[in-house]
Amino acid sequence: MSNLKEVLSGKKVLIPFITCGDPDLETTEKAVLASCANGADAIILGMPFSDPTAEGPVVYEANLRALASGITTDKIIEAAKRYTSKVNVPIMFMTYANVVFSYGIERFASECRDAGIAGVTLFDLPYEEKDEFESICSSYGVDLISFVAPAPDARIAKIAKEAKGIMFIMGAKTDDEIKHIVKVVKENSSVPCICGFDDLTAQDAKTKVLCSDGIALCTDLVKIIERFGKNSQVHIANYVKTINDAIRS
């Protein structure tokens, strides 16, 4: 098991998402470093997949750009080794079950451990089918990170009881909905509960961060990279600093 839970507990957390390899790995590295230098507490690296069924158009197009540039799972893992050696915050992967299954679950978990990856979220992996992946990931000290969407309390509680590292809330529409999910999670688990948002302003961040243990920036950095490409670093730095200052104020 990683120390993800311990590192991210006891504070409001900011976690940017970056599609790895969009438009190239050098740009990804600059985005990671700029984010960490300006307040990010952890980083989620999206591993591109040719059929990202759970993604919206922003991340879908980023996946296609990365794949067109020749990105592969092996290249991402090698790049992650460089990233983890240069920053002192946890780095996680987010991808799809088929990517891991095709690569080989044990091989993937072993490579993640060697690259210093703290956790993995498989966006299309149902709770009921996680055991095969989780047991192998755990044996290599990598957390298989759960996510939960609005659902009956009993299901949220069931997922929370077995959560490792942290838990992501996705798809909640209102502050009251987020607060209710967090309440159920906290009644059943001690892991930090992080809510994902798009198009976040500083004022939004001040409000939204009160609803949970922290914020995941789901598409904001992806949009900056889509707009500015290889010249994104300064824009990412400014945006992450703005959101970080807002949630600490």
> What is the band of 52 on the pLDDT scale with cuts at 50, 70, 90?
low
- Per-residue pLDDT reduced to its tens digit, 206-242: 999 999 999 999 999 999 999 999 999 999 999 999 9
Domain regions of the chain by residue span: 4-248
Contact (Cβ atoms closer than 8 angstroms) between residue 181 and residue 150: yes
Element (H, E) at 120: strand 119-122
In this prediction, residues 121-143 reach a mean pLDDT of: 94
**Residue 133 tokens, joined:** 């992946």
- According to DSSP, the residues that pair with 169 across neighbouring strands are 148, 195
Classify 217 as helix, strand or coil: strand
- pTM passes above 0.85: yes
**Which CATH number is 4-248 given?**
3.20.20.70
Q: How many whole angstroms separate alpha carbon 20 and alpha carbon 4?
A: 21
Contact (Cβ atoms closer than 8 angstroms) between residue 81 and residue 117: no
**How many whole angstroms from its chain centre is CA 91?**
8
Beta carbons within 8 Å of 139's beta carbon, 6+ residues apart: 109
**Residue 95 tokens, joined:** 């991808």
Is 123's pLDDT higher than 90? no
